[in-house]
Amino acid sequence: MDAGVIVLLIQVIAGFIGGTVIGSRIENVNLGGLGNAIAGAAGGIGGGRILSALVPELSGTESMDLGAIIGQVVGSGAGGAVLTIAAGLIKNALTSR
C-alpha cells in the first residue's frame, strides 16, 4: 500500500475519532452521531494536510516512522475536533434564529 494512502487513512480515522469524541462531550456542538463522524473525518483530512504543509517531516510520504504517524494522528484528531466544533456552533447559530 502506498504511503500516501496510509497517511490518508490515518487522517480520516483520527479525525473521525476526534470529531465523535468532542461532539459527544460538548452538548452545544453535538451534530448527532453521523454528523460528528462526517465533520470529524473531513476535519481530520484538512488538519492533517495543513500540518503536513507546515511541518513537511510529519507528512509521512517519505518514510512512515513513528514520529510521522503520531504527528498525523494528533494533527488530524485535533482538526476533526475543531471542524466539528465549528460546524456545531454554526448549526446552533442558524437554528436559533
Higher pLDDT, 81 or 63: 81
Q: Average pLDDT in the 64-79 region?
A: 90
The CA-based angle 65-18-63, given to 5 degrees, is: 15
Confidence grade of residue 61 (pLDDT, cut at 50, 70, 90):
low
Residues spanned by the domain of 28: 3-95
- Name residue 84's amino acid: T
Q: What pLDDT digit, counting tens, does each position of 14-55 carry?
A: 999 999 999 999 989 999 999 999 999 999 999 999 988 898
Residues in contact with 88: Cβ distance below 8 Å, sequence separation at least 6, in sequence order: 23, 26, 28, 29, 30, 31, 39
Report pTM: 0.89
Average pLDDT of every residue of the chain? 91
- Number of folded domains in the chain? 1
Q: How many CB atoms lie within 10 A of CB 9?
A: 12
